[in-house]
Chains A and B, each alone.
Chain A
């Protein structure tokens, strides 16, 4: 990691990986040419792939679109892209996608005084107690929010 003199609060992590084609093979992984070895080839691995950073289990990861402002306190804005991992554990305090009343909805999962609550992150909305509710299930765990500026 490299510290920048002119901006001490920023850190350079490394360079972004090349765009990958459908099979997950870097486009620039060159066929071996006669004569010269390609020194850059070994370095492809060491670049940073944003997709791999956000998606640890591709098989169980889905992208959803947030709609509304009830999770604004958790940094989820209207129109944001949500990275949802269905293989992650639904634990206290996690932001989850819950299926409730036939809708997929974003909430913080909370346990409090033996109750299970779905908590919005906006004072204009109130908690939903799901302790005794039927037909509510946790669809997945939100692991990243992609917000375009």
Chain B
């Protein structure tokens, strides 16, 4: 079989423990200290520093279950500070771009670089320069995987992290690679989810090596073209297109949150849903879309004894972007599925059946209805522009309630906004 896997074509650059590393940038006292970052609403662990991983703190575990452990080892616990992470992420990308030109950002802490022939010739030196520059300019440690395809670069980066050196270049012989791949479970491969991994196990494909040498006809017939591409990528043949290419038109808009405290009253729940519908509707209008489908769901904590999760959805008579219509519909749904006595912990709103607001259907020559809808839309856009100029929720629907209610997100341990607020800048001491 002919492969070309020693020819470097891609970097995958991944920030090490990104959120935890961000918390360290302005806090040298946190060097070598265990850090965990909690999800929205301080619920679960979403990031761990190397030291926290070494303590055996699992990813995704609920904070309350870990509390004794966190206290015993004096772990530094932070609420997610997404505006800080996003600002630092931009700087990471910009410092990489200052060395290699355009990058394809894949997530907040990962990006691919397609190597030009000139860069490919000096792949290792360039990777070292990237690691050095991002650390110096932004204070964030990164790992780099270098390989012949994006999927292989992902694996190389995974190896870079496991072996701690920070850079892994898949430039050995085919045999050497296969020996490594035989030890990596197949679900570590980019794009192989849990469900797909299960089907692969059933077909006796367990390791990365098994998948690399899987029968392509069988993969195409029994799995999908996407998985076939993955197999080819493992063989060093790039098949996946630029991942930063504009995404396809969105199919749904979701706004859902956990509450700060448990909610028992229908009215408070209605306030929360109103806020979520309002936010979802703003996003709808920003994308110049109309929604015809609306769904809501309300659930208790998945850690509670009697877990309930109720959903309700409906199709509206006409596609709309009118917050008021969406709200009335959502509240009528709440009336249907609300149960007294349940400690509700989260709620969500889903808008689906989206269509561009430029193509309208469903009026059947009812010009009066069209005129009414267009005027309502004008009003909605006016409200949006006032809110975006003077701060979110200056004008809001009365049901939404006020800012200090129980359903607001809990973020007690959020670090300061070092990069976005003159009053929250890091302190440089002149005291010794």
A residues near B (Cβ < 8 Å) are 57-60, 62-72, 76, 78, 81-82, 84, 86-87, 97, 99-100, 102-106, 120, 125, 128, 135, 137, 139, 142
Q: How far is the CB of B427 from chain A (nearest CB, A)?
A: 5
Q: How far is the CA of A63 from the CA of B427 in the complex (A)?
A: 9
Using Cβ atoms and an 8 Å threshold, which residues of chain A touch B428? 64-67, 82, 84, 97, 104-106, 142
Query: Is A86's CB under 8 angstroms from B139's CB?
Result: yes
Query: Is B430's CB under 8 angstroms from A65's CB?
Result: no
Query: Is B430's CB under 8 angstroms from A64's CB?
Result: no
Q: How far is the CB of B415 from chain A (nearest CB, A)?
A: 14
When A59-B98, A60-B137, A60-B138 are in contact, do A67 and B31 touch as well, CB less than 8 Å? no
Query: Is B138's CB under 8 angstroms from A59's CB?
Result: yes
- A71 closest partner in B (C-beta): B430
Query: Is A103's CB under 8 angstroms from B139's CB?
Result: no
Query: Is A87's CB under 8 angstroms from B137's CB?
Result: yes
Q: How far is the CA of A11 from the CA of B426 in the complex (A)?
A: 35
B49-83 near A? 1/0 per residue, CB < 8 Å? 00000000000000000000000000000000000
Query: Is B426's CB under 8 angstroms from A70's CB?
Result: no
- A118 closest partner in B (C-beta): B432
When A67-B427, A103-B28, A104-B28 are in contact, do A59 and B137 touch as well, CB less than 8 Å? yes
A-B contact pairs, 23 of them (CB 8 A): A59-B95, A59-B138, A60-B95, A60-B138, A64-B427, A64-B428, A65-B427, A67-B428, A68-B430, A69-B430, A70-B431, A71-B430, A84-B428, A87-B136, A102-B31, A103-B29, A104-B426, A104-B427, A104-B429, A105-B432, A106-B428, A137-B28, A139-B139
Q: How far is the CA of A137 from the CA of B28 in the complex (A)?
A: 9
Q: How far is the CA of A126 from the CA of B28 in the complex (A)?
A: 22
When A86-B136, A86-B137 are in contact, do A120 and B432 touch as well, CB less than 8 Å? yes
Q: How far is the CA of A104 from the CA of B139 in the complex (A)?
A: 13
Using Cβ atoms and an 8 Å threshold, which residues of chain A touch B29? 102-103
Within 8 A of A (CB), among B316-342: none
Query: Is B432's CB under 8 angstroms from A65's CB?
Result: no
- 12 further A-B contacts with Cβ under 8 Å, apart from A60-B91, A104-B429, are A60-B138, A65-B428, A66-B428, A67-B430, A70-B430, A71-B430, A97-B428, A102-B31, A104-B26, A104-B426, A106-B430, A125-B432
Using Cβ atoms and an 8 Å threshold, which residues of chain B touch A67? 427-431
Q: How far is the CA of A139 from the CA of B432 in the complex (A)?
A: 17
- B430 closest partner in A (C-beta): A68
Q: How far is the CA of A105 from the CA of B431 in the complex (A)?
A: 8
Question: B425 interface residue, CB < 8 Å from A?
Answer: yes
Using Cβ atoms and an 8 Å threshold, which residues of chain A touch B429? 67-68, 103-106
Selected contact of B425 from candidates A64, A86, A105, A120, CB within 8 Å: A64
Question: B419 interface residue, CB < 8 Å from A?
Answer: yes
Q: How far is the CA of A89 from the CA of B431 in the complex (A)?
A: 24
Q: How far is the CB of A41 from chain B (nearest CB, A)?
A: 25
Using Cβ atoms and an 8 Å threshold, which residues of chain B touch A128? 432
Q: How far is the CA of A69 from the CA of B429 in the complex (A)?
A: 9
